[in-house]
Structures are given as C-alpha cells and as structure tokens.
Amino acid sequence: MYKIVKKEKLAPDIQRFFIAAPEVARAAKAGQFVILRLFEGGERFPLTIVSREAKEGLIEIVSQRVGKSTAELALLKTGDLIKDISGPLGQPSEIKRYGRVLVIGGGVGIAPLLPITRALKEAGNEIMAILGVRSKEMFFFEDEFKTISRKIYFTTDDGSLGRKGLVTDVLKMLIDEEEIQRVLAIGPVVMMKAVSNLTKKVNIPTTVSLNPIMVDGTGMCGACRCLINGKSRFACIHGPEFDGHQVDFNTLLRRQNMFLKEEKTALEGFKKKDSQ
Ligand code: FAD
Ligand code: FES
Ligand code: MG
C-alpha cells in the first residue's frame, strides 16, 4: 500500500499527488512513469513521475481527470492508500548537451515535460519553452518553467493568455528566428504529429513522448504497440520517448480512436443493463 502524503489542485480537473513510494523514488529517472492500481480489482493506468524526493521516499504525479480511473484517483484524499504502484517503468530520457533545446507542452503534457526539461537544463542546455492550453485557467507549472527557460511563450485556444492559437504557430515563428538544436514535444498526439511534421522539414531532431494505452507496462500484453520507422515497438519498454520523425502517428491515432469506440460501446452496454 502506498500513502498519499499531500494532494493539491493545479488547475480545473488537474491535481498533483505526493505519494510515499521509497523504492520508486530511489530509482526513478526523468522520463519514466509508474502504473497505478488504486484498489483490488481496479484498472491499471500509467502516470509520469514528475519529481521525486529520494531521501523522503516521495514521488510526485500529476493527473488529469478524463475517465473512470482518473476520476477515482481524484476522489482520494491526503492520508488515503493506493493498492499498487509499479515502477519506475520505461526508458529514462536521453539527456545530453545539445545546445538550445525548445520544449513544447500541450495540456496535461506540460506535467511530463517538466522533469525532462529540468534534466536538460542541468546538463547545460539553454531552454526555450512553448506551453499551450485551452484557456488560461488550465495553465500550471508556469513558474517552474519560467525559472529554467531563457524564453517562454504561452498559447491558448481562446486567447485568454499569451497568443491565441496553437503551439505550432509559435514554433513556425521560432524556426525562422532562432537556431534550435533540438525539440522535445509532449501533448496530444495531433500536436506531436504537427510539431514533428514542421521540424522534419527543417531537419531539427525531435523527441516525442507517446501515450498509447498501457496495461502491464512490461512488454507482455502488446497494448502499447507503436510503429516506429516501420517497426513494431512497445512504448512501455522501448519508449515512451521516440524520434518524432520516425513515429507513425496515424496508426497511433487509429488505435486510440478504436479504444474510445470500445469504451463507448461498453458504457452503452452498462446503461442498457441499468435501464432493464
Ligand atoms: P478512460 O475513460 O479509460 O480513457 C480516457 C482516455 O485515456 C483514452 O481515450 C485513452 O487515450 C487514455 N487511456 C485510458 N486508459 C489508458 C491506459 N491504460 N493507458 C494509457 N492511456 C489510457 N495522464 C496524466 O494526466 N498525467 C500524466 O502524467 C500522464 N502520463 C502518462 C504517461 C504515459 C507513459 C502514458 C501512456 C499515459 C500517461 N497519461 C498521463 C495518460 C493517462 O494514463 C490516461 O489519461 C488514463 O489512463 C485515463 O484513464 P481513465 O480510466 O481515467 O480514462
Ligand atoms: Fe503491455 Fe506495453 S503495456 S506491452
Ligand atoms: Mg479507464
């Protein structure tokens, strides 16, 4: 059992949890994640390790409420216990001194972006950041990014903060104005696809962190299979980070949509049963 030591709201439907998980905290590196199971019989679902305090044995996770399991997590309070936490899982990020690195975060992707950005900064890179969300109240970690970035740009869909539009609008401008040695993008699949398409044209190496469905997190179930440079790869053990120019984003989008359809059908089945 793993105890929630602290819980905080970061934005509407986005919360952070500090959890006592000493073994995970000791071993975790930037870019890795855990798989949680909240209670016996509960669903397994992945969340990124945003930070860790090895001495205190704590890990920080950030969760956006999007469906059943994340809604169940959102209901837990400080002092409550989580049944299982497996990890750290996945390959750690490749941290090198690249020069000027542009990091791009969309929505809750801003959370997994932070630990990698911190590690890149510590390795001596100059950081520029673009953070994009729907509306200004959805921003979080702005101060954390401000302290490690030379320049930071905000975009919102509704123009309530920063530039109205998409992160790719700013990316296009920066590609023209700045020398950028590397791009790291984490967010919705369509955003990572658009970023990778743009940087491919101008040959800027680009890393993305993929978020396919994961179940076991150990390469056994096949749920997280992705096509990378025409080859099958399991995001849970070979990733989650991959070269954005080699990812088959269309297959990833198709698989995610398939899952959504199955969820909807299952939900309709439940509703039917309920009304009988
Ligand atoms: P559901 O209603 O079951 O599904 C809603 C959507 O969530 C689905 O359409 C699908 O896209 C995704 N999803 C559902 N089940 C899974 C699953 N088992 N594995 C992966 N995606 C799933 N979210 C965060 O808020 N913060 C994070 O730091 C974070 N890190 C992630 C790191 C990795 C490596 C991966 C693969 C995903 C990460 N996610 C993160 C996404 C998170 O796992 C899903 O939002 C969560 O599993 C949704 O579960 P649900 O039951 O609430 O929603
Ligand atoms: Fe099962 Fe990756 S989650 S193979
Ligand atoms: Mg679910």
What confidence score (pLDDT) does residue 262 get?
A: 60
pLDDT tens string 183-234: 999 999 999 999 999 999 999 999 999 999 999 999 999 999 999 999 999 9
Instruction: Report CA Rg, the chain.
Output: 19
Which of ligand 1's atoms lies nearest the C-alpha of 65?
52
- The residue whose two tokens read 């990020």 is 93
Residue 261 in contact with ligand 1 by CB distance below 6 A: no
Q: What is the dihedral of CA 166, 170, 173, 176, to 10 degrees?
A: -110
- Protein residues with CB under 6 Å of any ligand 2 atom: 214-217, 219-224, 234, 236
CA–CA separation, 1 vs 15, rounded Å? 20
Please name the residue whose Cα sits nearest to atom 1 of ligand 2: 221
Give Cα separations from 20 to 6, 23, 168 (angstroms): 10, 9, 38
Which of ligand 1's atoms lies nearest the C-alpha of 71?
52
pLDDT tens string 98-116: 999 999 999 999 999 999 9
Which of ligand 2's atoms lies nearest the C-alpha of 219?
4
- The residue whose two tokens read 């967010």 is 187
Residue 38 in contact with ligand 1 by CB distance below 6 A: no
Q: Taking the CA of residue 68 as centre, how many other CA atoms within 13 Å lie in the half-sphere pointing to its CB?
A: 11
Mutation choice for ligand 2 from 216, 226, 233, 255, CB with most ligand atoms inside 8 A: 216
Mutation choice for ligand 2 from 43, 224, 233, 238, CB with most ligand atoms inside 8 A: 224
Mutation choice for ligand 2 from 47, 218, 259, CB with most ligand atoms inside 8 A: 218
Q: What is the dihedral of CA 233, 239, 244, 248, to 10 degrees?
A: 30
Residues near ion ligand 3 (CB < 5 Å) are 67-69
Say how many Å lie between the CA of residue 100 and the centre of ligand 3: 38
pLDDT tens string 128-153: 999 999 999 999 999 999 999 999 99
pLDDT tens string 153-164: 999 999 999 999
pLDDT tens string 53-82: 999 999 999 999 999 999 999 999 999 999
Please name the residue whose Cα sits nearest to atom 45 of ligand 1: 66
What confidence score (pLDDT) does residue 49 get?
A: 98
